[in-house]
Amino acid sequence: MDPQNTAVNAEANMMLTHAKTLRLHTGNLVNRSRLRKKCPGSPSEELQDCIQATLSEWMSMTKPQSEGFHDTLDCSIPQVTDAITPEEREEVKVSAKLFLCEPVESSIRDAVEMGCQTLAVSQLDSVIIAPTVLPEGDGLTLAHLQPAWEELESLVRSQQIAAIGTSDLDKDLLEQLYNWAQVKPSSNQVNLASCCVMPPDLTAFAKGFDIQLLTHSDPKELMSAATFQQALQEGAQDLNVTNWRLEWVLRYSIIVKSRGIIKSKGYLVSARKVNP
């Protein structure tokens, strides 16, 4: 191995070893040829490939950004930024889906603020939240949804999000949330893997209250702890990954309004190191 590359990897590994929080940005997947060569079979596989490839590329950079590094390490590739210029902001729609891997409401604000900062916008046009995966046997209730929804409502009031939506709610739970919420859900995603036809009661309720029904193919748990650690290990081969935990994943799309095409898409990922 080239001595310079060896030094770069050593410095990058040292930074990862001392970091307490890891923030990772995949950049625009539409333009990343390294990922286009593969065709992931699922959203989970795509995310795993993205984490591994981004971390590996960051590790091999000639100048790791160690200046000003404290506890939070930003693993992103500068040349694959998705920043939106002020001139094109009105022409595009920025949509995101937030997967909370831990039930920490502050993660919602962290994810949205990182999304706005990364994409150079003051507001995300829409954010859909995926319910936190519950222990086996526990059913999703309004009480589970309320803390996260209140945080989303706060971000709507501060104009960091324009519209908020839900995922995988049946008619009864969607109705309970709608009646309770101050900021009403504008959309609800339905997983067609478990429901090949939209339930008639859900369709009727959504139509009556102007809620858009969308479809998706995401698993309930986007990425398991073991799969995340495997992606880290593949991206940084000398890193001890056992104490790293995934906090949240924000998947975003930038869509050209007039043409309905995806200009760019990517992932923002946050993880933290827990005490052994």
Q: What are phi and psi of 57, to 5 degrees?
A: -65, -40
Contacts of 63 (CB under 8 A, 6+ apart): none
Q: Whole-angstrom Cα distance, residue 240 to residue 73?
A: 16
Contact between 11 and 62 under an 8 Å Cβ cutoff? The reply is: no
Token pair 């993880």: residue: 271
The full set of domain ranges for the chain reads 3-273
Q: What share of the chain is helix, strand, coil (3-state, %, to 5)?
A: 40, 25, 35
Q: pLDDT by residue for the chain (276 residues), tens digit each?
A: 444 445 556 677 777 777 889 999 988 887 765 554 455 568 899 999 999 988 888 887 745 455 555 688 888 776 656 789 999 999 999 999 999 988 777 899 999 999 999 999 999 999 999 988 776 667 889 999 999 999 999 999 999 999 999 999 999 999 999 999 999 999 999 987 766 678 899 999 999 999 999 999 898 889 998 999 999 988 887 777 888 899 999 999 999 999 989 999 999 999 998 876
Helix (H), strand (E) counts: the chain:
8, 9
